[in-house]
Amino acid sequence: MQQPAIVAHRGASTDRPEHTIGAYELALKEGADGLECDIRLTRDGEIVCVHDRTLLRTSNGRGTVSALTLEELRKFDYGSWHGYREPAELLLLDQLLELVKGTDVQLFVETKHPVRYRNEVERKLAEALKRHGLASQIVMMSFSATAVKVFREQVPDVRTVLLLDRLGRLRSGALPSFADYTGPGVHLLRNDPGYVDRARRAGHETYVWTVDTAEDVALCRDLGVRYLATNAPANTRRLLTANLAT
């Protein structure tokens, strides 16, 4: 059975502050097959890589990302909060697109919802991908089915993931026509390991978040998961290699 592709969740975010250029450079150095990021819009319409709607957890600033301009956001330190304890600058999506350009690494881009500007973030993402010419390397993701649908209508040749924190009526493995891959949390597979096979029979491979423990890595490998999002790509690679040898 094919090994899962390793996707660095917010970069190598165990060892470096999430969503910083250093986290993504380390993930590439460690041999990640893909990178994952979350994007939001600033008040002046720029795309930045920040997970939370506010700055409190991952910077020394305060406020809501969507209520601040890019210039205001750039004043803060996005690195010293982490155990690595080195300052880091705000990361723009354009910088991350430039990092993967010319490589064979896939970039998984999650648009966050609900947000102040609704589906403007999907429109801006579509524009950025066209500008950089990177449609073949990008996978768009969201927990919002509406966001995935809106994006697919704008960029039909970019693959999409519908992220899931519960299965509900999608338990059969079927997805809406605008979603290529299913994106369950690993907690869902622990409770319902047969879901991966049902989704595959329905024509959808699986992207699983967030997989760091040896038990979860082994579960994803044994179920034939296609993409495995992890905070520690080097360690997850070691676990996969060790599991393969046993």
Please give the helix or strand (H or E) that residue 214 lies within, else none: helix 214-223
Catalytic residue list contains 9: yes
Which token pair is 90?
């705000």
Catalytic residue list contains 113: no
Is the CB of residue 68 less than 8 Å from the CB of residue 58?
no
Q: Given 51, 113, 132, 187, which residue is catalytic?
A: 51
Q: Given 9, 19, 82, 204, which residue is catalytic?
A: 9
The CA-CA-CA angle for residues 73, 41, 49, to 5°, reads 70
Which stretches within 101-194 are classed as H helix?
120-132, 145-154, 186-191
Per DSSP, the three-state class of 171 is coil
Q: Residue 156 and residue 192: Cα distance in Å, rounded?
A: 31
Instruction: Name 203's Cβ contacts closer than 8 Å, sequence gap at least 6.
Output: none
Which stretches within 77-141 are classed as H helix?
93-100, 120-132
Per DSSP, the three-state class of 102 is coil
Q: What is the number of alpha carbons within 13 Å of residue 10 lying toward its C-beta?
A: 20
Active-site residues, by number, are: 9, 51
